[in-house]
Amino acid sequence: MRTFTTILCASGMLLAAGEAAAQAHQPPKIEADGYVWEHTDNPYSGNADAIAEGQRVYRSTCYICHADTGSRGPNLRKSKLKGQAFLKIVINGRKGTQMPAWKGKLTEDEMWKVYSFLEAPPPQ
Ligand code: HEC
C-alpha cells in the first residue's frame, strides 16, 4: 500500500513539473508597440499580501486623481476594463487626457497588485 501511494505521489510531481515546463514554453504575448507581457492574467487575485502592497502603491500613485470612489479620474473599482485591458491603460496612459503612462515608473508586478487591490472588497 505504501509503495502504491509513493508511486502516485511521484507521478503527481512529475505531472506538475511537466505542466510548469509547458507553461514556460508558451511564447510571451507581445503588443504591437513591442510591450512584452510578464503575465497574461492577474497572478495575485485574492492574495492578501499583494492586495496590501497594491493598496500602498494605489495610495501613493493613483489616489491623488482617483481617490476612493473617483475624483479627477473615474472610480476604478467600477471600471469595465478587466485584466490586461485595464493594465494597458496603466502602462500607456490615455493620450489626450490627464491619465499618465506608468511604464518605467511602476513594474508590471506593482500594476497587477494595484489591480488586485481594486478587485478586492474595498477596505472599511
Ligand atoms: C494625474 C491624474 C491621474 C493619476 C495620478 C492617475 N490617473 Fe488614472 N485616470 C486619470 C483620468 C483623468 C482618467 C480618465 C481618462 C479619460 O478621460 O478617459 C483616468 C483613467 C484611468 C483608467 C481607465 C478607466 C476606465 O474604465 O476607462 C485606468 C485603468 C486608470 N486611470 C488607472 C490608474 C492607476 C492604476 C493609477 C495609479 C498607478 C492612475 N490611474 C493614476 C487620471 C489619473
Tracing cell 492574467 back to the chain, one arrives at: 41
pLDDT exceeds cutoff 60 at 18: no
pLDDT digits (tens, 9 = 90+) for 29-49: 899 899 999 999 999 999 999
pLDDT digits (tens, 9 = 90+) for 82-116: 999 999 999 999 999 999 999 999 999 999 999 99
Does ligand 1 lie within 6 Å of residue 79's CB atom? yes
Query: What atom in ligand 1 is closest to the CA of residue 102?
Result: 38
- Top mutation candidate among 88, 99, 115 for ligand 1, by most atoms within 8 Å of CB: 99
Q: How far is CA 92 from the centre of its chain?
A: 15
- Top mutation candidate among 66, 102, 109, 117 for ligand 1, by most atoms within 8 Å of CB: 66
pLDDT digits (tens, 9 = 90+) for 56-84: 999 999 999 999 999 999 999 999 999 99
Report how far apart the first and last C-alpha atoms of the chain are (Å, whole number): 52
